[in-house]
Homo-oligomer: A and B are copies of this chain.
Amino acid sequence: MRLTILTTGGTIEKTYNERDGSLRNYHTILPQMLSTLRLPDLEVTYEQVVFKDSLEMTSADRARILEATREARRRSDAVVILHGTDTLAETGSLLDRELSPLGVPVILTGAMRPYEFRDTDALQNVTEALLAAKLVPAGVYVAMHNRVLRFPDVVKDRERLTFRKP
């Protein structure tokens, strides 16, 4: 199965800078994450589309994600997108609205705690996104915390720090 992973940054990919003590989107750690998983069936290609905290995403950034997803679905059986959780629902709604009919599953995911931390939820969420990519019909979804929710009408639950249907 050919899978394209688009990374856009967000909490999941924030890394620590020892010189100034900051935690930011410096570089992707997607290859490290993937190297810890066993994925014998997947031919993965990945691409860094934008790379920032999703609170700082502009509509131009979202247009680039839309365009990259449009391209990726042509050459892939599924698309996974790493994204900051704060505006993930906004991007998901846009993709759902603009990319119809989709043809392939497009799964967004991210994390509440960066991958570099011991107690991260990043690996759980990426594992779930990669499995959902094989199991669900064409559509735009968020996969996180043992849930796969289909757009539209997905919101971040800021109280419980996860995603839900309204």
Residues of A within 8 A of B (CB): 11, 14, 16, 18-19, 21, 23, 36-42, 53, 112-114, 116-119, 121, 123-124, 127-128, 130-132, 134-136, 143, 145-148, 158, 160-162
Contact = CB atoms under 8 A, between A and B. Distances in A.
A87 to B, nearest CB: 13
A148 B119 CA distance: 27
Contacts of A14: 21
B127 A18 contact: no
B116 A146 contact: no
DSSP majority for the A interface?
loop
A113 B16 contact: yes
| Integer count of this chain's copies in the complex | 4
- In the A-B complex, the 9 residue pairs with the smallest Cβ-Cβ separation, listed nearest first, are A38-B145, A127-B127, A18-B112, A39-B146, A135-B135, A128-B131, A23-B23, A38-B121, A116-B117
Contact of A40 (B41, B128, B146): B146
Contacts of A16: 23, 113-114, 117
25 contacts: A14-B21, A16-B23, A16-B113, A18-B112, A23-B23, A38-B112, A38-B124, A39-B145, A40-B145, A40-B146, A40-B147, A40-B162, A41-B147, A116-B118, A116-B119, A117-B118, A118-B118, A124-B127, A127-B127, A127-B128, A128-B128, A128-B131, A134-B148, A135-B135, A135-B148
A161 B38 CA distance: 10
A88 B38 CA distance: 19
A147 B134 CA distance: 8
A100 B38 CA distance: 32
